């Protein structure tokens, strides 16, 4: 006899348990080339010193000595300095300059026809002289012009009123040049000449940085003192 296999059927009223299928979330893909770019950039940044990066950041900022509308200013990291001494390098060596509260360098105005001029300014409790470039002056100097005056400054640039008085007295016409020389020092150069005055006396022109002293050879006395003339200015006419 054949055995019958009974198959149980589910009635329509019975519901099979449902399966919940969670959707798969795929991770965002980053292009390999972009990853490589950022990796190389980060590696290069770690090799550059912090000081170099700081300099590169301020490379576009204005710095150093500049001239604007006829006045001199000094910039540090893009900002003008105020009420401060600054040492600058020139063709003649290092020079000191002072920049006031408005940022402008203290300096003398150009005297037409003359190569040198100076002006005295008070800084703190002392006074200092500055030429037309804004450089602090030292030693004995003479302001430009026919009515120029002699001034005496210390090696540190401070104005010496007592020495100035002595120099001016010793520089008068007819005074002993050897005595004046002790106060103003040795000239840069000397040149023999003949004066176009009565008797055509022989003389020696002693040249200093900002003035000349004409000395009568026979008496070794001061004949006259003149400011240095800017001959290049006359050649332009």
212: in domain? yes
Res 43: pLDDT: 64
Q: 152: burial class by Cβ within 10 Å (0-12, 13-18, 19+)?
A: buried
Res 56: pLDDT: 46
Residues of the chain with pLDDT under 50: 1-16, 18, 21, 51-54, 56-59, 237
d(CA 18, CA 1): 41
Q: 75: burial class by Cβ within 10 Å (0-12, 13-18, 19+)?
A: middle
33: in domain? no
In the chain, the number of structural domains is: 1
41: in domain? no
d(CA 72, CA 111): 18
62: in domain? no
Res 12: pLDDT: 46
Q: Are 180 and 171 in contact (CB under 8 A)?
A: yes
| Backbone region of residue 154 per phi and psi (left: phi > 0; alpha: psi in -120 to 50; beta: other values) | beta
For residue 117, give its domain range. 106-235
Would you call 173 helix, strand, or coil by DSSP? coil
5: in domain? no
Alpha helices in 129-213 (DSSP H): 161-170, 177-184
69: in domain? no
Please give the torsion angle defined by the CA atoms of residues 151, 154, 159 and 165, in that order, rounded to the nearest 10 degrees.
-50
The length of the chain, given as a count of residues: 237
6: in domain? no
Q: Are 169 and 184 in contact (CB under 8 A)?
A: no
79: in domain? no
Res 62: pLDDT: 82
């Amino acid at each position: 006899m054949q055995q019958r296999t009974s198959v149980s059927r589910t009635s329509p009223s019975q519901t099979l348990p449902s399966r919940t299928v969670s959707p798969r979330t795929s991770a965002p893909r980053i292009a390999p080339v972009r990853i490589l770019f950022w990796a190389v950039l980060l590696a290069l940044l770690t090799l550059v010193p912090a000081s170099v990066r700081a300099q590169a950041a301020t490379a576009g900022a204005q710095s150093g000595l500049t001239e604007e509308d006829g006045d001199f200013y000094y910039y540090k990291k893009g900002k003008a300095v105020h009420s401060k001494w600054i040492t600058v390098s020139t063709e003649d060596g290092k020079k000191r300059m002072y920049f006031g509260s408005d940022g402008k360098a203290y300096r003398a105005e150009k005297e037409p026809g003359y190569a040198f001029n100076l002006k005295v300014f008070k800084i703190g409790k002392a006074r200092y002289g500055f030429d037309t470039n804004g450089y602090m002056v030292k030693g004995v100097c003479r302001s430009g012009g026919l009515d120029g005056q002699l001034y005496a400054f210390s090696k540190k640039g401070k104005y010496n009123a007592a020495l100035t008085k002595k120099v001016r007295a010793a520089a008068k016409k007819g005074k002993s040049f050897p005595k004046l020389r002790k106060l103003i020092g040795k000239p840069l150069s000397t040149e023999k000449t003949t004066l176009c005055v009565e008797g055509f006396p022989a003389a020696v022109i002693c040249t200093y940085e900002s003035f000349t002293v004409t000395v009568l050879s026979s008496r070794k006395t001061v004949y006259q003192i003149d400011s240095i003339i800017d001959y290049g200015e006359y050649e332009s006419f």
